[in-house]
Amino acid sequence: MTLTFQAKIAMRSVFEKTVTALKRGVPSLLRAAKVLGHCKSRKNTAVNARERGFTMTELMTAVGIVAILTAVAAPSLMSVIAVQRVKTAAFDLYSAASYARSEAIKRSAVVTIMPRDGAFSNGYDLVVGGNVLRSQAGSPGVSISAPTGLVLAFDDSGRLTTPARYQLELTSVQVIATPKRCVNISTTGRPTLHVDNNHDGNCING
């Protein structure tokens, strides 16, 4: 057998193996191409959906749901805000009374808590000898009532300059059902906080 004939046989064997391998690999390649095409189609669909955004129906539905939730939650939210405002204003008055009493004892002088324009709701100033020690702005949405004709002042021993106790009553202007809070100052000058939880108008009995 000549060398040329052997080379032809070897080349034919290689060719047959190559054809067989191609026949076996074509289906796999086709399946892979199909999967890639499907993924590309889904990707294009997702991109188109993102680019499209919301439809008018979807937008109106979302707005309607938000409106309903707001209508349901608004009264509760207003009540919470009203309670917090009254609570904060009461604590500010309590803090101011405690500070005024302390300064009166330390300075051996009379310290007066003076309401602005005749009403604590407008704010108040702590004054000693014509000098303002501290100022507090008014509390929006809060009504503060005080005894008529009585001055809220502490002498050099920390006692009230008036013979009777002094009571400040705080109520909400926005939500009537908000519990009233009171700052009671005894004749000894010690302030205390009380809440009218039973809504009978008396802060002392709770």
In tens, the pLDDT along 82-100 reads 999 999 999 999 999 999 9
Which residues have CB under 8 Å from 81's CB, separation 6+? 141, 174
**Whole-number Å distance between alpha carbons of 85 and 147:** 22
**Whole-number Å distance between alpha carbons of 24 and 16:** 13
Mean pLDDT for the stretch of residues 184-197: 94
pTM beyond cutoff 0.75: no
Q: Which value, to the nearest 10 degrees, does the dihedral of the CA atoms of residues 152, 155, 160, 161 take? A: -80
Query: Can you say whether residue 103 is alpha, beta or left, with left for phi > 0 and alpha for psi between -120 and 50 degrees?
Result: alpha
What dotted CATH number matches 82-195?
Answer: 3.55.40.10
CA 93: distance to chain centroid?
A: 24
Contact (Cβ atoms closer than 8 angstroms) between residue 170 and residue 89: yes
Greater pLDDT, 198 or 145 = 145
Mean pLDDT for the stretch of residues 49-78: 72
Q: What single-letter amino acid sits at 71?
A: A
Q: Where are the beta strands (DSSP E) in the chain?
A: 111-116, 119-128, 131-137, 142-145, 152-154, 166-172, 181-185, 191-195
Do the bridges between strand 152-154 and strand 142-145 make them parallel or antiparallel, or are there none, so unpaired? unpaired
Residue 11's pLDDT is: 52
Confidence tier at 41 by pLDDT (50, 70, 90): low
Q: Is the pLDDT of residue 205 over 90?
A: no
Confidence tier at 58 by pLDDT (50, 70, 90): confident
Q: Is the pLDDT of residue 64 over 90?
A: no
Break the chain into its structural domains and give their ranges.
3-53, 82-195
Q: What single-letter amino acid sits at 82?
A: A
Q: What is the average pLDDT value for the chain, to the nearest integer?
A: 80
Partnered with residue 185 across adjacent β-strands are: 166, 191
